[in-house]
Structure 1
């Protein structure tokens, strides 16, 4: 049983989570989160903690940011768009149980004190910005680290926000680059 309550977008997401793990879930039912739902999420946040696990699309990121503002000590879990895609439909409900378990196992907390470990110069150095393969590299490394996909600016923010250490990053980056065809 997962201690934290997992916040997802809809009922189908809740069903997918329950097929993968034993956990309590709350669905936001989209961006227009009702007051009763916010109250329920707040109670869960105080009593058990939260894992925000929204769809890897524009709407999911907007919901994630809104929840992060209100519940800053929440953990975050991410799926790649490929893991959440079924016939062009992007959502947690389309992911395999294995992908859901892996994403939840890599859930990370936001670090409150904003320490800058990585800069945009690092993104260029590690071919995560300004290179033809930068987008694919961010997607692959984001999956391994459990911080999700983002453009270069968002990616460097997530590296810092989730407290990724340079040593951990360099080890993963080296391994990732050696596995590429």
Structure 2
């Protein structure tokens, strides 16, 4: 899990979530996939590598996503949490415009065509 040299990091659950966010953002942001779950040792390693960065957690609005979010709140309370509308349930299923507005609310630059 190599960490790029950028200031902002978005943590998502899966590759489809990562692709969705990549299509919307308009600035260099590292997007890290957890693939649904993280062991405590992987989480500790991740937290250590991200300590001086702006970290955003964007996970699905379902049970697995909430479990992961709770884990991050406990182990990395400095991270900011971004929420999609529960009606979409999954980051990958949410419209690009919705993802753009969620990211923009966190001062992450997005492509204007999604606004």
Interval containing the TM-score (normalised by the shorter chain): 0.7 to 0.9
More strand by share: 2
Alignment of 1:54-93 (within 5 A): 54-82=59-87, 84=88, 90-93=89-92
Aligned residues: 100
Gaps of 5+ in 2: 1-5, 107-115
More helix by share: 1
C-alpha separation in 2, matches of 1:5 and 1:74: 10
TM-score normalized by the length of structure 2: 0.74
Q: Which runs of 4+ in 1 moved over 3 A?
A: 32-38
Q: Deviations over 1:145-167 (max 9, x none)?
A: xxxxxxxxxxxxxxxxxxxxxxx
Partner of residue 14, structure 1: 18
How far is the alpha carbon of 1:41 from its aligned partner?
A: 4.3
C-alpha separation in 1, matches of 2:48 and 2:22: 21
Greater RCO (CA < 8 Å, at least 6 residues apart): 2
For the pair 1:25 / 2:24, whether they are aligned, the reply is no
TM-score normalized by the length of structure 1: 0.49
Partner of residue 35, structure 1: 41
Point out the structure with max Rg over C-alpha. 1
8 Å contact from structure 1 (residues 26, 41) kept in 2: no
